[in-house]
Amino acid sequence: MKKINKKFIRDFITDYNNIVRELYEKKMIRDIKCHVINDRGEVVEITHENKSNESNILYDRHLPIETIMDILLENKEYNLLLYDRSIIKYQLAIRNGKIYKERLIFIKKHNYLWTKDEINKKDIDDFGVDWFQEEISIPIVIRIDYDSENYEDIIHPITHMTLSNYEECRIPMMGAVTLYNFINFILNFFYNDNLNCASVFEETDITISQNEKKRLHFEWE
């Protein structure tokens, strides 16, 4: 592995360990799949162990969220499974010490904010009803992509957010999003919480174009 990539991986692992430790302390995690680091020479890939083709179901717009979630959960196609069975997935490719490609995904089947105590009570319900299957509400699907190879100004921003798995939805973002910032974003806006640990990464590579800035977009300090 190239030295410059080693530093990124080392910093990534530091951030990851701090994040997971805090999420465990908050009792946010139900299950976890360890990430796998694949050294391919110039490029280093980070994904979860035993990643299968079943993960491609995420991009099938013709399937209901119930089917997608059932398949992902059955095959454990996630990195982090939160206490309410929401899924966090991430996949990164690193080149020259920087993010080369990235995909961050959050799927929450229900738009309710249940407390951990409420979920625990539902899990041990004696009536044999699976609350996860029975409860019907509006699902939340968020995907953030970083992809410079397919860049097309405004049409396909290098960094963009896709909502509800709608392919043509590519909201421009200021730049690459770290795993820390992504998980903190999820905690902030979907669980009324935040990470207290600090991130090793301080700078974000700016990728948004001047034309994309003229549209509604995501920008942060």
Domain assignments of the chain as residue spans, ordered by start: 3-213
| Residue 153, C-beta contacts closer than 8 angstroms, at least 6 positions apart | 209, 211, 212
Let me know if 44 is exposed, middle or buried by CB neighbors in 10 A (0-12, 13-18, 19+).
buried
Band of the pLDDT at 170, cuts 50, 70, 90?
very high
- Please, what sign has the CA dihedral across residues 58, 56, 95, 10? positive
pLDDT, one tens digit per residue, over 188-202 is: 999 999 999 999 987
- Per-residue pLDDT, averaged over 76-102, amounts to 92
Q: What does the mean pLDDT of the chain come to?
A: 86
